[in-house]
Chain A
Amino acid sequence: MNKIIILISLVVFITFVNGGMTVKRQLGNLREKSYQLKAKNDDIKQEIKSKVFLDRSAPVPLACAYILLINQIRTLESYSGTNMNVQLEDNKDTEDISAQYVDTPYKGVKGLMLRMVIDKFSKETDMGAVLDDIHLLEKNTDFMATEISKDNNNLIVKGEVYGI
């Protein structure tokens, strides 16, 4: 009987210790996650602090921002006579552009990656003016260029238009 009691107590002991060790392992993971979360929270606080002084304005739906960008491009084309071929990044045509929306560093703000190809340059083309137009395009819309390159006879502008 005593042997059985000792055996049972040892089994209970092992069960508790095993349970304790499992909890201890989970505790280690949880602690690590807590540290990471705390660091993340500190970063967000810092980010909020850095943005608190920015001017505020009503957000624009991404579809509207995109249309505004296209309209602005057409306006510039009509002024400068330059043809700007706008493509979605990696996709030439798509029925639903919302499927191409991507996350941006701004919470709750989406982005649409675009590629504008301007070709048919001549030696007389004022490249400065074309680049100035791109800057103007950025200023008047929610588009931001990430790369502008000219190779052979193509000027390619890669960028992203932002909206909610």
Chain B
Amino acid sequence: MNYLLFNNEIFLSDGINVHRIDKNDNLKDIVEPIEEANICVVDVDIIIAAAMENPVEKKDSLLVRKFKELYQHEAYIIQDERIDDNLFQVIGIKEQRVREVYTFISPEKVESFIPYGIALRNTLINKKVDLNKSIVFVDDFGTERLVTVFDGLKFSRTRVITNNGEDILPEIKRSQIDFFKKNEEHLSKKNTDFVILVNNQALANEIAKYEEKLSIEYFNVPYPALEGLKEVDTLIKYVLPEEILKRRREIEIKKNVVTAVFAIAVTAIGLFYFIITKFEWEHVSHRYDYLKMINERLVEQLRLIDRQTYREDIRRHKILNYGVAYLSVIDLIPPSYEIDSFKFIKSNHWDLEMTLLAESGEIFEPIPKLRILKSADIKDIFVNNQQEKLLRITL
């Protein structure tokens, strides 16, 4: 990972060493081997604006409108960060500037692209600097000094002051006053106390000489913004409009593809289920039709055979001579009995049921269970208050 700071000069860090690159150098050739980079740009414009957080589209449009009210003459790429409830820091970089950066390094290689102020703020937070106090940070690059004012998460437009050996303190004070004036309504602190952080010991001592009352601290990080690019914890990334459109198109295409795949898959599952079931039904239906055809053929065959054989079949079932069977039973019943009624009943075989009365004055003699009566069922029954014998014989 490499880290780039874009100002009037460009600073390139590989995480250990920092190279100062002049714009006249062939930057493209230097940057070409870089595979991944975090970038920060000094030249940004900032406003603090209040807006309802939801809906997001409404909030975005309101913030853009407020920003454009102040910076309406040039095209900007705008990003915002929430710094409090319904309060946003709107940071714009001129589109021309963003385009310039991307001419040196292709967008695919840029991991994050943030304002210098955010990169510097990251370092201050990492170094546990108390941001509850107002801070004016002086970043000394030798030929130039960058002055940025911090108040909590809020920070000012970075002023670039050329080092011509003049006293920088008035510039520091002006920066602080400008920032407080601009953001008066949004600042929590009403007093004008502030701490000056300088990353150059000699410069810190020099400023302290001018005014002893001022709180001046030495901040021992030579390139704090490049340091702050090492761990970027923000969603902000400046991207060219065409890149945004390209990404949107890609997302849209991806979304469309996912939708199409989902729609096709869902339809295919339904269709597959229907086809499989229908196929199974067709198979069973063919089998049923085949069985039906067989059945019709068999019924016709049976009809033909039945018409030709029914007489023989009936004849085979007419083997019982009722007279012989009747007389066989009568022969075995003692003469003291009188036949009251009888009935031949046909089921799978013939049964003979017979009711017997004892002749008047006679007693019921035992009926011998011989021959045809061997397996007969003989019972005493009462009919009309009269005792009778019931014989049930299977013939």
**Residue ranges of A at the interface with B (Cβ–Cβ < 8 Å):** 2, 5-6, 8-10, 12-17, 19-21, 23-24, 26-27, 30-31, 33-34, 37-38, 40-41, 44-45, 47-48, 51-52, 54-60, 104, 106-109, 127-135, 138-139, 142, 144-152, 162, 164
Contact = CB atoms under 8 A, between A and B. Distances in A.
A135 B295 contact: no
A144 B317 contact: yes
A127 B326 contact: yes
A109 B295 contact: no
Given A33-B288, A55-B309, A142-B314, A130 B323 contact: yes
B387 interface: no
Given A5-B263, A30-B284, A144-B318, A41 B274 contact: no
B305 A51 contact: yes
For the complex of A and B, list the 6 residue pairs with the smallest distance between their C-beta atoms, beginning with the closest.
A132-B323, A16-B270, A9-B263, A13-B270, A131-B322, A107-B303
A12 to B, nearest CB: 5
A134 B305 contact: no
Contacts, number: 185
A91 B316 CA distance: 29
B191 interface: no
A128 B318 contact: no
Contact of B256 (A2, A107, A130): A2
A124 B248 CA distance: 119
A31 B287 CA distance: 9
B30 interface: no
A52 B281 CA distance: 37
B295 A47 contact: no
B332 interface: no
A37 B288 contact: yes
A160 B308 CA distance: 18
Given A30-B284, A30-B285, A17 B274 contact: yes
A164 B306 CA distance: 10
A21 B274 CA distance: 8
A72 B185 CA distance: 131
A162 B135 CA distance: 122
B294 interface: yes
Given A9-B266, A107-B302, 8 more contacts: A2-B256, A21-B277, A41-B294, A54-B309, A57-B308, A135-B318, A135-B322, A145-B346
28 contacts: A6-B263, A6-B266, A9-B266, A13-B269, A16-B273, A17-B273, A20-B270, A23-B277, A33-B288, A34-B287, A34-B288, A37-B292, A41-B291, A44-B298, A51-B305, A55-B309, A56-B312, A104-B310, A107-B302, A109-B307, A128-B330, A133-B323, A135-B323, A146-B346, A147-B343, A147-B344, A149-B344, A162-B310
